[in-house]
Amino acid sequence: MQDKIFERFEALFPDMVEFRRDLHMYPELSFHEVDTPKKVATFLKALGLEVQTEVGERGVVATLRGGKPGKTVALRADFDALPIHEENEVPYRSKVDGVMHACGHDVHTSGLLHVAKVLSEFREQLTGNVVFIHQFAEELVPGGAKFMVEDGCMEGVDAVFGAHVNSKEPLGRVGHCAGPSMANGDNFEITIHGAGGHAGMPHLTVDPVAIGGQLMSSLQQIVSRQTDPLEAAVVTVATFQAGDSFNVIPDTALLKGTARTFKPDVRENVEASIRSVARSTCEGLGASATVNYIKGYPAVVNDEAETARIARVARSLFGEDLVYEMTPMMGMEDFSYYLHKAPGAFVWVGGAMPDPSDVYPHHHPKFNVDEEAMLRIGKLFIGTVLDYLGEEAS
């Protein structure tokens, strides 16, 4: 059966490309998706699936019930875009100023929709059910997955799988990582309250700029001196805002940054240390600090058995040379919320453009991927579903 499904799936490739390019031309930002979920729902309803809309507010969930009872496996794709002005000169360039699909979510969505289409054509031969989760707002904390899970999208699901296209890896190369694979992602804002004044008389001020410089240095010791060296953690100050004049010391300074960890206890310790270091550093120099710590997505922790399953399927489909074990990364993904409800795995699938001069990283104004990545991701999903449901290839 698998070979027949793949043959049919490959025949749908022109339709995949057309749908993907339509999404690419009309991108929508996180928490502002209106037309995209409508397009997704219309497509899924035409397949005769059980379709729920406005799941968690903007998500779409479709259920395919096989001809024979069995387990339920879920597949997830995201459909939000980014606040980036596209610089690609392609016929399907974004028509929305300042917004583009610069992370491949259009590829994920079209690919999964056509997986749903081809599996629906073979539904009577399936033993079990497949749930297709089309998620909004992956790019912006608190993310859409949390709200979709709270709205019940994972009820009755026995396992869940997700895949992300990788613009830097060769087409079809599959990276997997069992256990913690993507980090807890938290953000922080530290406002230093000093006392401004004339830049020529700094002794009459409590300079938040100078204190901010010292605080930046002190924060780096959270990882180097307050965290077990065998545990992974990152504390990065990415923004330092203070004043707007050559000769005026401002009253306040603002530091913004991110903290990345894997384990819950390390996450809590890093937060506590950021608060403590900010307070003690500022108070020791006559200022005060207000810390706003925003917890983002929890770590993606892939199930050992399900990661082994999807890796095995990938090797059988694409060969040993195109499947590799990844090291954990400090990026974050709200696919983690689905993994809190059922075992599963999140993998990366290569989709680098054929010409190396066209290869750009994710979130770049010239980001693009080889559209054949949709075929690779789709086949990986189909193969994993059939393996999980215990289908015999025939």
Looking at 28, 78, 106, 138, which residue is catalytic? 138
Instruction: Give the residue-averaged pLDDT of 75-98.
Output: 98
User: Residue 393 falls within a domain, yes or no?
Assistant: no
Tell me: do 306 and 175 sit in the same domain: yes
Looking at 28, 33, 78, 80, which residue is catalytic? 80
Tell me: do 277 and 244 sit in the same domain: yes
Domain boundary among 279, 295, 311: 295
pLDDT of residue 359 exceeding 60, the answer is yes
The Cα-based distances of 168 to 79, 349, 350, 352 in angstroms read: 20, 10, 7, 5
Tell me: do 40 and 160 sit in the same domain: yes
Tell me: do 63 and 172 sit in the same domain: yes
Q: Determine the 3-state secondary structure of 152 from DSSP.
A: coil
Tell me: do 52 and 170 sit in the same domain: yes
- pLDDT tens by residue, 21-66: 999 999 999 999 999 999 999 999 999 999 999 999 999 999 999 9
What percent of the chain is modeled with pLDDT above 90?
98
Tell me: do 192 and 286 sit in the same domain: yes
Binding residues for Mn(2+): 103, 105, 139, 164, 363
- pLDDT tens by residue, 151-179: 999 999 999 999 999 999 999 999 999 99
Question: What confidence category does residue 391 fall into, taking pLDDT thresholds of 50, 70 and 90?
Answer: low
Q: What is the CATH number of the domain that holds 275?
A: 3.30.70.360
Tell me: do 259 and 188 sit in the same domain: yes
Tell me: do 231 and 97 sit in the same domain: no
Structural domain boundaries, residue 49: 2-181+299-388
- What is the domain count for the chain? 2
Q: What pLDDT was estimated at residue 184?
A: 97
Q: What pLDDT was estimated at residue 394?
A: 32
Q: Whole-model pTM?
A: 0.93
- pLDDT tens by residue, 259-292: 999 999 999 999 999 999 999 999 999 999 999 9
User: Residue 240 falls within a domain, yes or no?
Assistant: yes
Q: Roughly how many angstroms between the first and final C-alpha of the chain, as a whole number?
A: 4
Tell me: do 235 and 277 sit in the same domain: yes
Q: What pLDDT was estimated at residue 279?
A: 98
Q: Are 377 and 349 in contact, with CB atoms under 8 Å apart?
A: yes
**Mean of pLDDT over the chain:** 97
User: Residue 218 falls within a domain, yes or no?
Assistant: yes
User: Residue 394 falls within a domain, yes or no?
Assistant: no
Contacts with 311 (C-beta within 8 Å, 6 or more apart), sequence order: 174, 176, 323, 325, 347
Q: Quick one: tokens of 328?
A: 């954990």
What percent of the chain is modeled with pLDDT above 70?
99
pLDDT of residue 393 exceeding 50, the answer is no
Q: What pLDDT was estimated at residue 371?
A: 98
Q: What pLDDT was estimated at residue 134?
A: 98
Residue 140: exposed, middle, or buried by beta-carbon count in 10 A (0-12, 13-18, 19+)?
A: middle
Tell me: do 53 and 159 sit in the same domain: yes
User: Residue 172 falls within a domain, yes or no?
Assistant: yes
User: Residue 337 falls within a domain, yes or no?
Assistant: yes
Domain boundary among 295, 329, 349: 295
User: Residue 149 falls within a domain, yes or no?
Assistant: yes
Tell me, rounded to whole angstroms, the distance of Cα 165 from its chain centroid: 11
- pLDDT tens by residue, 290-335: 999 999 999 999 999 999 999 999 999 999 999 999 999 999 999 9
Spatial separation of the C-alpha atoms in residues 360 and 368, rounded to whole Å: 7
Is 80 assigned a catalytic role?
yes
Q: What pLDDT was estimated at residue 62?
A: 98
Binding residues: 103, 105, 139, 164, 363
Query: From the CB of residue 295, how many other CB atoms can be counted at a distance below 10 Å?
Result: 15
Q: What is the CATH number of the domain that holds 318?
A: 3.40.630.10
Q: Are 16 and 371 in contact, with CB atoms under 8 Å apart?
A: yes
User: Residue 60 falls within a domain, yes or no?
Assistant: yes
Domain boundary among 237, 265, 295: 295
Tell me: do 172 and 80 sit in the same domain: yes
Residue 288's H or E segment, with its range, is: strand 288-295
- pLDDT tens by residue, 189-221: 999 999 999 999 999 999 999 999 999 999 999
Tell me: do 274 and 311 sit in the same domain: no
Instruction: Give the residue-averaged pLDDT of 346-353.
Output: 98
Is 387 assigned a catalytic role?
no
